[in-house]
Amino acid sequence: MCGIVGYLGKGYAQAPLIDGLRRLEYRGYDSAGVAFHEGNEFSLARETGRVKNLADSVQKNSSSSSLGIAHTRWATHGAVTVSNTHPHMSQDGKFVMVHNGVIENYGILKKFLVSKGIKFSSETDSEVLCNLIAYHYSELPTGEDRFIDAVRLALPQSRGAYGIVILCVDYSDTMIGARRGSPLVVGLGEEANFIASDASAFVGRAKEAVFLNDGELSIISGKNFRITTMEGEEAKAVAHPVEQISEEVELGDFDSYMEKEIFEQPTALENTLRGRFGDDGTTAKLGGLEGHEDELRNLDRIIFVACGTARHACMVGEYLIERLARVPVEVEHASEFRYRNSPKAGKSLVIAVSQSGETLDTLEAVREAKTKGLLTLGITNVVGSSLARETDGGVYQRVGPEIGVASTKAFSSQACLCAMLGLALGRMRDLSPTDGQAIVQALNDLPDLVTKVLQQGEQIRELAIKYSKAEHLLFLGRQSLYPVALEGALKLKEISYAHAEGYPAAELKHGPIALINPDCPSVFIVEGSSLSSKTIANMQEVKARKGPVLAIAPDNVEIPEEAVDDIFRLPVVHEVIRPILANLPLQLFAYHFARLRGLDVDKPRNLAKSVTVE
Ligand code: F6R
């Protein structure tokens, strides 16, 4: 992994490929490379660091080729070096390939190839796959289908996940892509066709996008394009327009995508909510759940599977759904669920939540749930993503592309959809129309309330200035604000590299309190319920040990002066939207904290936007 673009067209490949890589930068990477078909050979340019380094180097030796592939790599096998950077060339110089994913049995395959006299110049699993294809090619008779046949012979021998695009020097107008577990999309334009890991790579250059399914190959030959199965049968190609996403990926007046996406949240939430309430104004109506009403009414438990920020949104859902619908809810790390032999108690529903819809751990959890015969639903932001296609039903977040590596608007919309799900399930069970109506009202008020909180951004910037020297911070909250504490800590550590931990506020005294000292601030997210007095008592425990305390608290909660150093006030709202509002100052806190340290919030070190490896 991480970003792939391939170009075959009438014009020069260089500019669209470099531009495509720039558009994929948001996914996170540590090196970048490009290969061009130059008639009898391939030319290759690879650089560690930013795409800009690659662009500068390519500029010096411009290519006039109209066929090429490019890649941004996020290291999995082998260090961040030029030789490990993609594209990889087979030893015989016949093939160049870019690869996202992990070939799990690359060791065995490499041994086999070494026994055939093949030498390797990198530590990567990808170079092994490229050479395996070259090996099969060398064994096949000459003929029109030799290239595709070599690909079809090699891929079934590899275990693990891949999205690859490969070129063969003997085919000057053919580009082949193949997918298993790692997304690939074909872009169809008038002047050129593309194969990329993400449609944003060819926005503005291709009119239609066709998403590949697992086990499919896309063969672009001259102006023609087809999709087949691994066995060679023609597969159906469903085209989606790409124009609609072009404006949404522009940065506009903002300094970073993270900032843009934080401030986009009122609109993003309006879109998440639009048209999703019943006519009587007492329930939520989620189209993707239609046809499953009986199963939903008779559920015995819900299991959420997700990773990272998406899992925190699910935890918010756990508190809300149990409260509103009285259905037992569990939230699992998708990577754990997959390998855990969880008993199939009663009628369980598995809900997978993933902004990208391509997180491999989450997809594998869904596949495991399906193997066990469980009903699966997906909450995802990306239309046509693997999650959307593989679940039995689901709901789109509709917040537009999230480019910043640190997830912000996606969390808010996922938590919002969990509240809507709780409302819908609650109304199918015992939630009264009056309670339903109050929740609908609260959800409808959410976008304006988000605007109001974001307008206080300057106060958060000042707080970030005050606390930005800290290297260790604790985030503490109770009930549905506990996941908000986890999310606040995650956001801070991933973009500022300060060490931050989230805990339920009462857990403090069971261990973490040992960390408290004047250099370790605690951020308390205070609920507006009867529990707030307990949280204030926890704040006092911190103050008694000379720990600085910052509270995020509703307007109506009185906090004694001696319990707190700083307070950021939130409007008093219904409990279903409280976690979403309470999370906003923490997003801004992390953002300013990282910016004050001079860090690039959109490209935090070591992180990738879409994690398509286990
Ligand atoms: C954190 C973050 C990650 C993702 C996680 C799951 O800011 O972005 O923790 O939430 O990798 O990604 P999706 O939602 O695409 O499955």
Whether residue 225 is found in the same domain as residue 258: no
pLDDT attached to residue 106? 93
> Ligand 1 in contact with 258 (CB < 6 A)?
no
pLDDT attached to residue 181? 78
Rg, C-alpha atoms of the chain: 26
Q: Which residues of 176-205 are buried (b: 16+ CB within 10 A; e: fewer)?
A: bbbbbbbbbbbbbbeebbbbbbbbbbbbeb
DSSP string, 102-162: EETTHHHHHHHHHHTT---SSS-HHHHHHHHHHHHHHHSPSSTTHHHHHHHHHGGG--EEE
pLDDT in tens, 381-419: 987 788 988 999 999 999 988 988 899 999 999 999 999
Whether residue 231 is found in the same domain as residue 255: no
> Ligand 1 in contact with 535 (CB < 6 A)?
no
- Cβ atoms of 544 and 570 within 8 Å: the answer is no
> Ligand 1 in contact with 587 (CB < 6 A)?
no
Report which protein residue has its CA nearest ligand 1's atom 8.
407
Provide the pLDDT confidence category of residue 85 given band limits of 50, 70 and 90.
Answer: very high
> Ligand 1 in contact with 75 (CB < 6 A)?
no
**C-alpha distance from residue 54 to each of 47, 316, 565 (Å):** 5, 42, 48
Q: Which amino acid is at 169?
A: V
Nearest atom in ligand 1 to 311's CA: 10
- Cβ atoms of 486 and 584 within 8 Å: the answer is no
pLDDT attached to residue 247? 54
- Tell me how far apart the alpha carbons of residues 20 and 34 are, in angstroms, rounded to a whole number: 11
Whether residue 424 is found in the same domain as residue 449: yes
> Residue 35: inside a domain, yes or no?
yes
> Ligand 1 in contact with 150 (CB < 6 A)?
no
- Cβ atoms of 607 and 505 within 8 Å: the answer is no
Given 247, 268, 295, the domain boundary residue is: 247
Q: Which residues of 481-515 are buried (b: 16+ CB within 10 A; e: fewer)?
A: bbbbbbbbbbbbbbbbebebbbbbbeebeeebbeb
Q: Return the CATH number at 153.
A: 3.60.20.10
| 238-247, 303-312, 471-480: least confidently modelled range | 238-247
> In angstroms, what is the span from residue 567 Cα to ligand 1's centroid?
29
> Ligand 1 in contact with 408 (CB < 6 A)?
no
Report which protein residue has its CA nearest ligand 1's atom 7.
406
pLDDT attached to residue 278? 87
- CB atoms closer than 10 angstroms to residue 69: 30
Whether residue 125 is found in the same domain as residue 146: yes
Given 206, 232, 247, the domain boundary residue is: 247
pLDDT attached to residue 474? 98
Question: Which token pair is 454?
Answer: 């974001």
Top-confidence residue, 603 or 391: 391
Q: Which residues are catalytic?
A: 2, 609
- Determine phi and psi for 420, rounding to 5 degrees: -65, -35
Average pLDDT, stretch 209-217? 91
Task: Indicate the SS3 state at residue 251.
Answer: coil
> In angstroms, what is the span from residue 602 Cα to ligand 1's centroid?
14
> Residue 612: inside a domain, yes or no?
no
Report which protein residue has its CA nearest ligand 1's atom 5.
308
Nearest atom in ligand 1 to 408's CA: 7
> Residue 609: inside a domain, yes or no?
no
Whether residue 414 is found in the same domain as residue 280: yes
Q: Say which DSSP state 345 is in.
A: -
> In angstroms, what is the span from residue 600 Cα to ligand 1's centroid?
18
- Tell me how far apart the alpha carbons of residues 348 and 303 are, in angstroms, rounded to a whole number: 7
> Ligand 1 in contact with 404 (CB < 6 A)?
no
Whether residue 449 is found in the same domain as residue 327: yes
Whether residue 114 is found in the same domain as residue 189: yes
> In angstroms, what is the span from residue 603 Cα to ligand 1's centroid?
14
Contacts 24+ apart (CB under 8 A), 149-153: 151/176, 151/178, 151/217, 152/217, 152/230, 152/231, 152/232
Nearest atom in ligand 1 to 306's CA: 16
DSSP string, 479-508: GGGHHHHHHHHHHHHHHH--EEEEEEGGGG
Nearest atom in ligand 1 to 610's CA: 15
Average pLDDT, stretch 500-523? 95
> Ligand 1 in contact with 308 (CB < 6 A)?
yes
- The backbone region for 252, taken as left when phi is positive above 0, alpha when psi lies in -120 to 50, beta otherwise, is left
Ligand 1, pocket-test mutation among 360, 611, 614, most atoms within 8 A of CB: 611
Average pLDDT, the chain: 93
Nearest atom in ligand 1 to 359's CA: 16
Ligand 1, pocket-test mutation among 307, 486, 591, 603, most atoms within 8 A of CB: 307
Non-local (6+) Cβ contacts of 79 within 8 A are 123
CA atoms within 13 A on the CB side of 429: 19
Average pLDDT, stretch 578-583? 98
- CB atoms closer than 10 angstroms to residue 126: 27
> Ligand 1 in contact with 386 (CB < 6 A)?
no
Given 422, 454, 486, the domain boundary residue is: 454
Q: Return the CATH number at 529.
A: 3.40.50.10490
Q: Does the pLDDT of residue 1 top 60, yes or no?
A: no
- Cβ atoms of 127 and 134 within 8 Å: the answer is no
- Tell me how far apart the alpha carbons of residues 431 and 74 are, in angstroms, rounded to a whole number: 47
> Residue 608: inside a domain, yes or no?
no
Ligand 1, pocket-test mutation among 261, 309, 409, most atoms within 8 A of CB: 309
> In angstroms, what is the span from residue 379 Cα to ligand 1's centroid?
13
Average pLDDT, stretch 239-268? 83
pLDDT in tens, 110-167: 999 999 999 999 999 999 999 999 999 999 999 889 999 999 999 999 988 899 999 9
Question: Which token pair is 17?
Answer: 């490929």
**Cis upstream peptide for 604 (omega within 30°):** no
Whether residue 208 is found in the same domain as residue 267: no
Average pLDDT, stretch 580-589? 98
> Residue 287: inside a domain, yes or no?
yes
pLDDT in tens, 411-447: 999 999 999 999 999 999 989 999 999 999 999 999 9
Query: Domain tally for the chain?
Result: 3
> Ligand 1 in contact with 356 (CB < 6 A)?
yes
Whether residue 23 is found in the same domain as residue 163: yes
- Cβ atoms of 94 and 137 within 8 Å: the answer is yes
Whether residue 333 is found in the same domain as residue 437: yes
pLDDT attached to residue 603? 83
Tell me the residue range of the domain where 576 lies: 456-601
pLDDT in tens, 19-35: 999 988 877 788 999 99
Question: Which token pair is 345?
Answer: 């108690």
Residue 432, Cβ density class (10 Å: 0-12 exposed, 13-18 middle, ≥19 buried): exposed
> In angstroms, what is the span from residue 355 Cα to ligand 1's centroid?
7
> In angstroms, what is the span from residue 311 Cα to ligand 1's centroid?
8
Task: Indicate the SS3 state at residue 612.
Answer: coil
- Tell me how far apart the alpha carbons of residues 388 and 352 are, in angstroms, rounded to a whole number: 10
- Cβ atoms of 217 and 151 within 8 Å: the answer is yes
pLDDT attached to residue 386? 87
Q: How far is CA 271 from the centre of its chain?
A: 19
> Ligand 1 in contact with 309 (CB < 6 A)?
yes
Whether residue 62 is found in the same domain as residue 207: yes
- Cβ atoms of 170 and 140 within 8 Å: the answer is no
Ligand 1, pocket-test mutation among 363, 407, 603, 611, most atoms within 8 A of CB: 407
> Ligand 1 in contact with 610 (CB < 6 A)?
yes
pLDDT attached to residue 10? 93
pLDDT attached to residue 176? 98
pLDDT attached to residue 508? 92
Whether residue 445 is found in the same domain as residue 487: no
Q: Say which DSSP state 574 is in.
A: -
Average pLDDT, stretch 541-569? 96
- Tell me how far apart the alpha carbons of residues 406 and 410 are, in angstroms, rounded to a whole number: 10
> Ligand 1 in contact with 307 (CB < 6 A)?
yes
Q: Which amino acid is at 261?
A: E
